[in-house]
Amino acid sequence: MDTLLPPHVRPMTEDDLDAVMAIEVASYVHSWKPEHFSAEIAGTCSWPFVAVAGGRVIGYVCLMSLFEEAQILNVAVQVSHRGRGIARLLLELAFRVALEKGAEKMALEVRASNVTAISLYQKLGFVRVGIRTGYYESVEDAVLMEKPLI
Ligand SMILES: CC(C)(COP(=O)(O)OP(=O)(O)OC[C@H]1O[C@@H](n2cnc3c(N)ncnc32)[C@H](O)[C@@H]1OP(=O)(O)O)[C@@H](O)C(=O)NCCC(=O)NCCS
């Protein structure tokens, strides 16, 4: 029945961690560990969400929001569900939550080689605001991106 419904987004819970970790390790060479997600679930300034379709977790976003600035810490979508607007659904919810928490802008860091993610962020209104040289494993640059929320 649920497979006939469009994907929806809800807060991440500890029960989601196996599904989240399966997506995480398929998505990154340097993946987060379960305790990183647990810290986001427990955090008072963090709001992790999962996208669910057919009763299964197919993606997630981790949002942190503190005073006027919010950050996207992680976003990933199951390989078989990419290119269907799931990341957009998750990020647009994160923008609304951040705004509700009082954030005025959204920031993130992305590997310079991750052209797919950079393209996604540009499509959603982020612009490049800087580079952190050798930020990842001392060899790869981070592109700093921001988007105004108000
Ligand atoms: C990046 C990622 C989250 C995108 O998820 P997704 O659900 O496939 O993205 P969406 O379908 O919502 O795409 C939204 C927009 O992003 C852009 N985009 C997404 N995938 C793209 C690709 N392969 N090439 C170019 N642009 C792409 C497009 O502009 C797209 O808009 P359009 O469909 O109107 O053209 C997904 O590829 C992923 O999980 N990658 C591995 C983890 C990762 O790199 N996360 C980001 C770390 S900073």
Each residue's pLDDT tens digit, 111-120: 999 999 999 9
82, 126 contact by CB (below 8 A): no
| Ligand 1 pocket test target in 49, 116, 118 with most atoms within 8 Å of CB | 116
Give mean pLDDT, residues 67-78.
97
52 Cβ below 6 A of ligand 1: no
CA distances from 50 to 61, 71, 147 (A): 7, 17, 22
CA distances from 56 to 8, 28, 84, 97 (A): 10, 20, 16, 23
Confidence class for position 5, pLDDT limits 50, 70, 90: confident
DSSP state of 86: H
Rounded to whole angstroms, the Cα distance separating 31 from 45 reads 22
User: Average model confidence (pLDDT) for the chain?
Assistant: 96
50 Cβ below 6 A of ligand 1: no
Predicted TM-score (pTM) of this structure: 0.96
The class (CATH top level) of 2-106 is alpha beta
